Structure 1
Amino acid sequence: MSTPTASPRQSKQPDERHDEIVAATRQLFAERGVAKVSVTEIAKRVGVTRGLIYHYFPDRDALIDLIFEDHITEFVDAVSRWDADREPGNVAKALLDCVVLFRHHLHAKDMFREDLGHPENAGLYNRFVDRAVRAIVERLRVTTVEAYARAHHIDIEHVGEVFYVLVYGLIGLVRSSPDVDDQVLVAIVRQTLHLDMGTANTTL
Structure 2
Amino acid sequence: MPEHSFRKVFASLESAVPPVPGHLKPRKTPVQSRSGATVEAIHEAVVQVLLTEGLARLTTTRVAERAGVSVGTLYQYFPNKQALLFTILLQHFVEMAEVIEKVSRDRAPRPLADLADGLADAYFSVKLARPEVTTALYRIAGAIDQVRLPPDVFKRLETAVTQALKHASDATFHDPERAAFTLLSALAGVARAGFSRPVSDPAFLRRLHREGRLLSRAYLRAAADTAADLSATS
Q: TM-score, normalised on structure 1? A: 0.60
**Of residues 36, 45, 61 in structure 1, which corresponds to 2:82?**
61
Residues 25-174 of structure 1 aligned to structure 2 (within 5 Å) = 25-33=42-50, 35=55, 36-44=57-65, 45=67, 47-50=69-72, 53-85=74-106, 87-117=108-138, 123-124=142-143, 127=146, 134-141=155-162, 143-144=163-164, 147=166, 154-156=173-175, 160=177, 163-173=180-190
Alignment deviations for residues 154-204 of structure 1 (CA, whole Å, 9 cap, x no partner):
523xx64553343112321355473637344312123236466xxxxxxxx
Structure 2 residue 217 is matched with structure 1 residue 186: yes
Code of the aligned partner of 2:219:
I
SS at match of 1:155: coil
Structure 1 portions without partners, runs of 5+: 1-12, 197-204
Cα deviation for residue 21 of structure 1 reads 4.6
Q: 8 Å contact 1:72–1:135 — kept in the other structure? A: no
CA separation of 1:125/1:163 partners in 2, compared to 1, >3 Å: closer, same or farther?
Answer: farther
Structure possessing the higher radius of gyration over alpha carbons: 1
Q: How many residues align?
A: 174
State the identity as a percent.
17
Alignment deviations for residues 79-126 of structure 1 (CA, whole Å, 9 cap, x no partner):
1222223631533322232223334433333432122346xx561488
CA separation of 1:29/1:190 partners in 2, compared to 1, >3 Å: closer, same or farther?
Answer: same
Q: What CA distance in whole angstroms lies between the structure 1 residues aligned with 2:189 and 2:174? A: 25
Q: What CA distance in whole angstroms lies between the structure 1 residues aligned with 2:110 and 2:173? A: 16
More helix by share: 2
Aligned CA-pair RMSD: 4.0
Which one scores higher on RCO, CA 8 angstroms, separation ≥ 6?
Answer: 1
CA separation of 1:61/1:21 partners in 2, compared to 1, >3 Å: closer, same or farther?
Answer: farther
Q: 8 Å contact 2:49–2:58 — kept in the other structure? A: yes
Q: 8 Å contact 2:42–2:74 — kept in the other structure? A: no
Q: TM-score, normalised on structure 2? A: 0.54
Alignment deviations for residues 29-72 of structure 1 (CA, whole Å, 9 cap, x no partner):
2322172331223445554454x644533322222232223332
Q: What CA distance in whole angstroms lies between the structure 2 residues aligned with 1:189 and 1:101? A: 16
Structure 2 portions without partners, runs of 5+: 1-28, 195-207, 229-234
